Structure 1
Amino acid sequence: MQHRPNASMLPSQSGCCSIIRSILPHLTKAEQKAAEYILENPAEVIHMTITNMAETCRIAEATIFRLCKKAGYSGFQAFKISLAGEMFPAFESVCNEVITDDSPNSIAAKVFHSITEGLQDTLRIVNEKQLEKAITAVCNAKRIYAYGSGVSALVAQDIEYRFIRFGIPVIAYSDPHMQYISASLTEPGDVIIVISHSGSNQDILGAIELAKPCGATVIAITSHLRSPLSHDAHITLCGMAREVNYRSEAMASRLMHMALVDVLYVGAMLRQQDKITANMKKVRQAVSKRKV
């Protein structure tokens, strides 16, 4: 009788392909199918979401998640980070186009070029109908909540800082517990803007599940149009960034998402110019008192 290896007894996560090979005989047929795809196509896997891989292998997302857990990882994202670490030098996890000999000017040129391409990509794929719905939802919102984790939390904070000028309550939450609490207390007329690069954050998805039955409108800002977040949200705005998808920093995508937030802000502002003009005057007067 064969026994499944205990995850705590597996090798360190620096050899994930070796781990996959070692547990291959102990996997179910569906898990073996996923494992074999990973071993044969590691360079493609690091650019995939769990949804993409599940569709490619024609298996359930849960199967891939179980495989990663059996290999000793917390999930698919953690597995991809480890896999990428095997395949690329450390500096490529920061920017996949720079090299160690690049001058500061060369680094700047490459980073700016990546941002420019990402903005152009986003402009090409943005869905005008979805954008129209998002602007309308923001204009009609009684309250706005912004959810984001990690780097996406910065985008959520930017929403709070800027959209408060609309004269309605706007609150950004990065803590999953606060996201769950606020989501469970939402009402019809409330809008939740969710920012997630991967669109696969389990905490974010859980919060949405709580908010939707309450009648809140969910707007997703993500880099993956076919992600679970895109599927669950009422409205999806997709921002593309030409970067390595496993990268936790998601540098360029952060700027794409902020650009989409700017579009939402300006679009909503133009529809209620009298109100926003009056609010901006009050804001400037209040802030001016703090200046020397």
Structure 2
Amino acid sequence: MAEAKIQLPILRSVYQDLTKSEQRIADYITNHADEIMDKTIPELARNTNSAEITISRFCKKLGFSGLQGLKIALAAELSSAGDVRFQEIQKDDSYEQVAGKVFGSISEGLQDTLKILDYDAVDRAIAVLSRARRVAVYGFGNSATVCRDIETRFLRFGMLVQAYDDVSQQLTSASLLTGEDAVIAVSHSGSTLNLLKTVEVAKKSGAQVIVITSYAQSNLAKLGDIVLTGMGREVHYRSESVASRLIHMAITDVLYTGIAMGQPEKYRDNISKMRSVISSTRE
């Protein structure tokens, strides 16, 4: 099996929203990672059939001040990659091999997310959620499972929190929000039209919108007041969107833990009450 190419997590998180010329640059960097360190902007432009200004804009679109910043990030990625090999699932793999590859892709996705997660945004999201009068959580499909998990866990804080995966209910909820409320919108692609409409309505209502997505340049991300990006690794028989569901749950666990840390006594009291009531239903 051929060795997998190293790709910056940030390249993967924005790739689908890059222009064709920018994708050509991203592909070249992925396929020639070891050579990029010695390349100048003119050389990179020549090798990718691009204008020098396009190279500079590409670097800034990824959040770097220039090519040197991109090189530093790429060097860190290469040095931390070690001997990890990204492996596809084959039809004759044993279940032990399948488990190893699936668990490995989850682990790598989590490590990728650690590198691209905006921790200032995490801090702001925790602050918004901690003071919100109520929290509405919106998502469809695989993302709806993340939303239900958020509802179940955040309920432990005594929050008014509810998850919606029906478009009519989402729109109704969004129209009744106020500036005291918060929204968590979850979407792998960030391009689901019904979810975009719901978030637009929520913003018009004055609610603060926290977006959890895999694509930092998606239309949903552009609507968010706070954007948290995390992406899973795709393997054969298992889509990137399914992998990202677990990554997005991990991000919400960070938010959950941050809120709990900010109100430890209330959290412990609520957990104690919850366990006491639940234990009374058991024999």
**Residues 133 and 181 of structure 2 are in contact (CA less than 8 Å); yes or no, is this contact kept in structure 1?**
yes
Counterparts in 2 of 1:251 and 1:96: CA distance versus 1, 3 Å: farther
1:53 Cα offset (Å)? 4.8
Q: 3-state SS of the aligned residue for 2:200?
A: helix
Equivalent residue in structure 1 for 2:131, among 137, 140, 145: 140
Q: Match for residue 261 of structure 2? A: 270
Equivalent residue in structure 2 for 1:224, among 189, 204, 215: 215
1:166 maps to 2:132: no
Q: Match for residue 257 of structure 1? A: 248
Identity of aligned residues (%): 45
Alignment TM-score, normalising by the size of structure 1: 0.67
Q: How does 1:37-76 map to 2 (within 5 A)?
A: 49=16, 51-53=17-19
1:237 maps to 2:237: no
1:54 Cα offset (Å)? 7.2
1:279 Cα offset (Å)? 1.2
1:244 Cα offset (Å)? 6.5
Q: 3-state SS of the aligned residue for 1:218?
A: strand
CA distance in 2, matches of 1:261, 1:55: 34
CA distance in 1, matches of 2:95, 2:177: 48
- 1:189-234 deviations in Å (ceiling 9; x for gaps): 2111111000111111100110112110110000001111111000
**Residues 96 and 243 of structure 1 are in contact (CA less than 8 Å); yes or no, is this contact kept in structure 2?**
no
Which runs of 5 or more structure 2 residues have no equivalent in the other structure?
A: 1-13, 24-85
Equivalent residue in structure 2 for 1:186, among 171, 177, 191: 177
**Residues 232 and 240 of structure 2 are in contact (CA less than 8 Å); yes or no, is this contact kept in structure 1?**
no
Q: Match for residue 102 of structure 2? A: 111
Q: Match for residue 4 of structure 1? A: none
- One-letter identity of the residue aligned with 1:130: A
- One-letter identity of the residue aligned with 1:280: I
Which runs of 5 or more structure 1 residues have no equivalent in the other structure?
A: 1-46, 58-94
- One-letter identity of the residue aligned with 1:145: A
CA distance in 1, matches of 2:277, 2:259: 23
Q: How does 1:80-119 map to 2 (within 5 A)?
A: 97-119=88-110
1:162 Cα offset (Å)? 0.4
1:281 Cα offset (Å)? 1.4
Counterparts in 2 of 1:139 and 1:54: CA distance versus 1, 3 Å: farther
Q: Match for residue 290 of structure 1? A: 281
- One-letter identity of the residue aligned with 1:256: I
**Residues 87 and 101 of structure 2 are in contact (CA less than 8 Å); yes or no, is this contact kept in structure 1?**
no
- One-letter identity of the residue aligned with 1:99: Q
CA distance in 2, matches of 1:176, 1:244: 30
CA distance in 1, matches of 2:278, 2:209: 32
1:276 Cα offset (Å)? 1.2
CA distance in 1, matches of 2:21, 2:277: 53
**Residues 88 and 235 of structure 2 are in contact (CA less than 8 Å); yes or no, is this contact kept in structure 1?**
no
Q: 3-state SS of the aligned residue for 2:18?
A: helix
CA distance in 2, matches of 1:54, 1:289: 60
CA distance in 2, matches of 1:285, 1:189: 32
Q: Match for residue 20 of structure 1? A: none
Counterparts in 2 of 1:263 and 1:104: CA distance versus 1, 3 Å: same
**Residues 133 and 160 of structure 2 are in contact (CA less than 8 Å); yes or no, is this contact kept in structure 1?**
yes
Q: Please tell me the root mean square deviation across aligned C-alpha atoms, in Å.
A: 2.2
1:260 Cα offset (Å)? 0.2
- One-letter identity of the residue aligned with 1:52: L
1:274 Cα offset (Å)? 1.4
Alignment TM-score, normalising by the size of structure 2: 0.69
**Residues 196 and 222 of structure 1 are in contact (CA less than 8 Å); yes or no, is this contact kept in structure 2?**
yes
Q: Match for residue 214 of structure 1? A: 205
1:243 Cα offset (Å)? 1.5
- One-letter identity of the residue aligned with 2:229: C
